[in-house]
């Protein structure tokens, strides 16, 4: 007779491992950021902190807040396609609660923001999750497009990155082919597994539930096909990334060393910072490290780059913690005054 742990026992076992893994990753990025700093660099850090124009933090905060509001409005367009029209305030609160949760554990925020909206607007969780997956894929595509445009506008940047990271450009073709083959194999295995899974006779309840969840997620994911306000969706997407770029630009304007940077530098740092946000919970350590190394490509010292990276990260994190806390506190009070449940659009 074999014994298997319950899902709760498995979660109790895996969560500490996840926490320790990301903690080690954070420490590694922080170590990489400071290990080569000389006494002169440390003095430059002190000088940069004293000379920084902290008034620009206000511009960065406003830009980020507008970006979060636009993200909530964009998500609302996808939810309307499902046949619901939830409160825009609840959508914004849910988005901020999700960001807040992501500071502790990557991707848990996507689950929490869906469950928050499910609780207060009574929209099926599975369908909401599909829209979130769709949003993430769209943002990933935008990031890849932005990265390709940035590299295309700066032909020498790839070689500078190679020199900075001690990589050999001659190995790129083989590496790219290797990643492509691995990706195709994984995709093929996933497709075969899904075909096999859904071709079986549904003899067990768990299979029926899995199929129901999969269909709900697919319904949310496929909302883009039925989106009526495609122009507005595209406009919101462009404005979201524009607001993130304005935040980066406000950081440039804080220091004399980067005050002369313009759109191309904004795009480059925006790409690097976005990747850093993906690598660790809330981007801690990774964001500042990648911003520092990227700024150094433009002949800015490691010390100034480190200060810029950490201040930009602190600005974003402080705003998320503030607005996330306000959202958590405000949700029950706001929904106490409104009728419970999000009515379908045809009832409006």
- The residue segments making up the domain with residue 307 are 39-337
What token pair was written down for 267? 């795009």
Q: What residue has token string 């990589």?
A: 167
Residue 61 lies in a domain: yes
In whole angstroms, what is the distance from residue 126 CA to residue 216 CA?
Answer: 5
In whole angstroms, what is the distance from residue 188 CA to residue 325 CA?
Answer: 43
Residue 31 lies in a domain: no
pTM higher than 0.75 for the full model? no
Residue 5 lies in a domain: no
Residue 281 lies in a domain: yes
The DSSP secondary structure of 45-83, one letter per residue, reads HHHHHHH--TTHHHHHHHHHHHHHHHHHHHHHHHHHHTT
Residue 89 lies in a domain: yes
Q: Which residues contact 110 (CB under 8 A, 6 or more apart)?
A: 98, 102, 129, 132, 136
pLDDT per residue of the chain (348 residues) written in tens, 0 to 9: 344 444 444 445 455 555 555 556 556 656 555 555 556 556 656 666 677 788 898 999 999 999 999 999 999 998 988 888 999 999 999 999 999 888 777 678 888 899 999 999 999 888 888 888 888 888 988 999 999 898 888 877 766 665 555 444 444 454 455 545 555 665 665 556 555 555 555 455 555 555 555 665 566 556 666 777 888 999 999 999 999 999 999 999 988 888 888 899 999 999 999 998 888 777 877 888 899 889 988 888 888 888 888 889 889 988 998 999 899 899 998 998 765 455 555 444
Say if residues 135 and 74 touch (Cβ distance below 8 Å): yes
What token pair was written down for 47? 């000088």
Residue 348 lies in a domain: no
Residue 160 lies in a domain: yes
Residue 101 lies in a domain: yes
When divided into structural domains, the chain yields a total of 1
Phi, psi of 15 (to 5 degrees): -60, -45
Three-state SS for 297?
A: helix
């Amino acid at each position: 007779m074999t014994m298997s742990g319950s899902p709760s026992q498995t979660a109790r076992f895996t969560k500490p491992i996840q926490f320790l893994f990301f903690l080690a990753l954070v420490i590694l990025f922080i170590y990489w950021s400071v290990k080569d700093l000389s006494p002169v660099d440390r003095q430059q850090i002190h000088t940069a902190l004293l000379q920084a124009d902290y008034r620009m933090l206000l511009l960065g905060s406003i830009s980020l807040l507008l970006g979060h509001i636009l993200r909530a409005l964009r998500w609302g367009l996808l939810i309307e396609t499902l046949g619901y029209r939830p409160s825009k305030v609840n959508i914004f609160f849910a988005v901020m609660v999700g960001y807040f949760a992501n500071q502790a554990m990557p991707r848990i925020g996507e689950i929490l923001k869906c469950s928050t909206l499910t609780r207060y607007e009574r929209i099926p969780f599975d369908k909401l999750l599909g829209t979130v997956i769709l949003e993430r894929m769209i943002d990933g595509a935008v990031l890849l497009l932005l990265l390709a445009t940035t590299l295309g506008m700066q032909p020498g940047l790839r070689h500078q990155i190679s020199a900075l990271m001690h990589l050999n450009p001659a190995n790129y073709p083989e590496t790219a082919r290797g990643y492509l083959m691995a990706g195709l194999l994984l995709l093929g295995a996933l497709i075969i597994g899904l075909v096999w899974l859904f071709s079986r006779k549904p003899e067990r309840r768990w299979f029926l539930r899995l199929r129901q969840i999969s269909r709900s997620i697919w319904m949310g994911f496929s909302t883009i096909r039925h989106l009526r306000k495609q122009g507005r969706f595209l406009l919101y997407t462009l404005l979201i990334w524009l607001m993130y770029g304005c935040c980066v630009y406000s950081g440039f304007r804080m220091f004399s060393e980067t005050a002369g940077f313009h759109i191309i530098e904004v795009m480059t740092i925006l790409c690097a910072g976005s990747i850093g946000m993906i690598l660790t919970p809330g981007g801690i350590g990774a964001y500042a490290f990648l911003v520092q190394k990227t700024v150094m490509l433009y002949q800015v010292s490691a010390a100034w780059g480190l200060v810029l990276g950490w201040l930009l990260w602190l600005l974003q994190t402080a705003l998320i913690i503030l607005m996330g806390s306000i959202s958590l506190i405000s949700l029950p009070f706001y929904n106490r005054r409104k009728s419970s449940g999000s009515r379908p659009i045809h009832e409006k």
